[in-house]
Structure 1
Amino acid sequence: MAQVVQGRPGAQEPESQRPTRRNLPWPIRFLDTTVGMKWAMALSGVMLIGFIVFHMIGNWKMFLGAEAINHYGEFLRELLYPILPRTVFLWIMRLGLIGAFLVHILAAYRLVVINKRARPVHYESKRQFVAVNYANRTMAVSGTIVLFYLLFHLADLTWGVGGAAGNGWQRGMPYENFVASMSRPPVAIFYIVANLLLAVHLYHGAWSMFQSLGLNSPKYNVARRYFAIGLAVLIGVGNTIMPLAAMTGIVS
């Protein structure tokens, strides 16, 4: 039995006063487990995938001309108006996405830390540990680059604090702002590279998402792989044709 010495460094707290996982609410106990973190990462990933797909489809309106995509941007700002003030519901969705990003990043970080602390005991588990660790490193690198790109993308196109502000940027005009930003080759190339990395990230994420949710069966693996490949190709191609069109003058 450990002796309690009050007022001295290193003194141990009585066991009766220590917080235990059993005393925590069930959702917190669940999220503190590896399974809970995988579920949090998977469900937040579903939200983010939905946003990425619908955001891409909305942006394709730029090929219909300035009026089409600018009208779409105004529609988003007036969602649920006049029930709510203008742009309020849009900001509610943005805050929800920010929350999903934070949950996704924190859960991924916790899982990476747990994997690094793992100690394989035989050859087969060592092979599995190396494979998982490699996937984690790939996801971490691509996810970090995509996060920095997202912040730059918002600053440059939405807030007008990037170089696009001096190249024809206009507040609330998605078409003019996209052309102003992507007509600069370095920005367009960075956009393309970031979206290719996003496609790789989504391939790994979509493949492991079903496993995290317990939908892991050999008879579904082929469908899971096709879904992951299809999603990665859709996002990779769908998001890169837009900067290519602006950079080459097809959209101007």
Structure 2
Amino acid sequence: MSTIAAPSQAQRLTLFYREFIGKKIAMALSGVVLFGYVVIHMAGNLQIFAGREQINSYAAQLHSSAPVLWGARVVLLTAVLVHIYTAISLTRQSRAARPEGYRKTGQRHPNLPARTMLFSGLALAAFIVFHLLHLTTGTVHPQFADLKPYDNMVSGFQMPVVALFYVLSVALLGAHLYHGAWSMFQSLGISHPRYTPALKKFAVAFAFLLTVGFSLVPLAVLFGVVR
């Protein structure tokens, strides 16, 4: 009598990911990784207000262990790729399941961040590429100095176009994070009428504080508070 081999763990995960709920959970989990990163990254950036020595020492410490640094980069890159691929896949799946004529006249639209999540996500991906080339590799930074983030940010953000581009980009990031945080709670099953209002307020506060936190550095340099 022939036997059918049970699917492996990898096969079960693949089959689960193909389902709509699987993709939603993948979006949520990759979002958790990205949320954690932006909080840590913002905290690192804000050390510029403690002076040149503090933030330059912080950068040197981060680069002191290559295995840890590259391990974190691999995890982050994986989360970004999963997040982008899954977002595109979910958008296609939703559009395929909803014919063009389905929409009713006078139907209420969801909020703007929700309707523009794919666009804002792709725009942020482009911004991240520029940010890496500007302040990580120095490829597009005319005065880049290795492991000297203080000087790199000061010389970089003294250009009004660059500083305002960063502020607009982090404002877009805030809008994306607001809806992303709320969707993440729902996808992970953290939703209940009793504490849903508190979760919504948390999503708003989280997005607002990150937007302000990331905007402080370019604006402080632009207006001469940090020089």
- Per the TM superposition, whether the score is higher than 0.5 is yes
Which residue of structure 1 aligns with residue 110 of structure 2?
131
Which residue of structure 2 aligns with residue 106 of structure 1?
85
Provide the rounded CA distance (Å) in 1 between the counterparts of 2:163 and 2:172: 14
- Whether 1:26 and 2:12 are equivalent positions in the alignment is yes
Provide the rounded CA distance (Å) in 1 between the counterparts of 2:139 and 2:43: 25
State the aligned residue count. Answer: 218
Provide the rounded CA distance (Å) in 2 between the counterparts of 1:230 and 1:101: 23
Provide the rounded CA distance (Å) in 1 between the counterparts of 2:71 and 2:222: 33
- Whether 1:116 and 2:89 are equivalent positions in the alignment is no
Q: Structure 2: which amino acid aligns with 1:67?
A: E
Provide the rounded CA distance (Å) in 2 between the counterparts of 1:204 and 1:26: 30
Deviation at 1:137, TM superposition (A): 4.1
Provide the rounded CA distance (Å) in 1 between the counterparts of 2:222 and 2:102: 53
Kindly report structure 1 stretches of 4+ aligned residues shifted beyond 6 Å.
Answer: 120-124
Which residue of structure 1 aligns with residue 33 of structure 2?
47
- Whether 1:144 and 2:122 are equivalent positions in the alignment is yes
Deviation at 1:157, TM superposition (A): 1.0
Deviation at 1:135, TM superposition (A): 5.4
Provide the rounded CA distance (Å) in 2 between the counterparts of 1:56 and 1:119: 39
Q: Secondary structure at the match of 1:157?
A: helix
Which residue of structure 1 aligns with residue 3 of structure 2?
none
**Alignment partner of 2:52 out of 49, 66, 84:** 66
Cα distance change on mapping 1:176 and 1:29 into 2, 3 Å = same
Q: Secondary structure at the match of 2:139?
A: coil
Q: Structure 1: which amino acid aligns with 2:45?
A: N
Provide the rounded CA distance (Å) in 1 between the counterparts of 2:102 and 2:131: 46
Provide the rounded CA distance (Å) in 2 between the counterparts of 1:244 and 1:123: 43
Measured against aligned partners, the alpha-carbon deviations of 1:82-117 in whole angstroms (never above 9, x if no partner) come to xxxx42210110111000000001111111111111
Provide the rounded CA distance (Å) in 2 between the counterparts of 1:135 and 1:231: 15
Q: Structure 1: which amino acid aligns with 2:118?
A: A
Higher relative contact order, chain-length normalized (CA < 8 Å, sep 6+): 2
Q: How does 1:195-210 map to 2 (within 5 A)?
A: 195-210=170-185
Cα distance change on mapping 1:25 and 1:248 into 2, 3 Å = same
Provide the rounded CA distance (Å) in 2 between the counterparts of 1:180 and 1:135: 33
Cα distance change on mapping 1:183 and 1:26 into 2, 3 Å = same
Contact 1:112 1:136 survives alignment (8 Å): no
Contact 1:160 1:169 survives alignment (8 Å): yes
Provide the rounded CA distance (Å) in 2 between the counterparts of 1:123 and 1:199: 29
Identity %: 40
**Alignment partner of 2:202 out of 206, 216, 227:** 227
Provide the rounded CA distance (Å) in 1 between the counterparts of 2:80 and 2:166: 19
Measured against aligned partners, the alpha-carbon deviations of 1:41-98 in whole angstroms (never above 9, x if no partner) come to 00000000000001101111100110000000011112xxxxxxx4221011011100
TM-score (norm 2): 0.89
Deviation at 1:136, TM superposition (A): 5.3
Which residue of structure 1 aligns with residue 72 of structure 2?
93
Provide the rounded CA distance (Å) in 1 between the counterparts of 2:102 and 2:192: 25
Contact 1:206 1:228 survives alignment (8 Å): yes
TM-score (norm 1): 0.81
- Aligned-residue CA RMSD (Å): 2.2
Contact 1:34 1:111 survives alignment (8 Å): yes
Q: Secondary structure at the match of 2:144?
A: coil
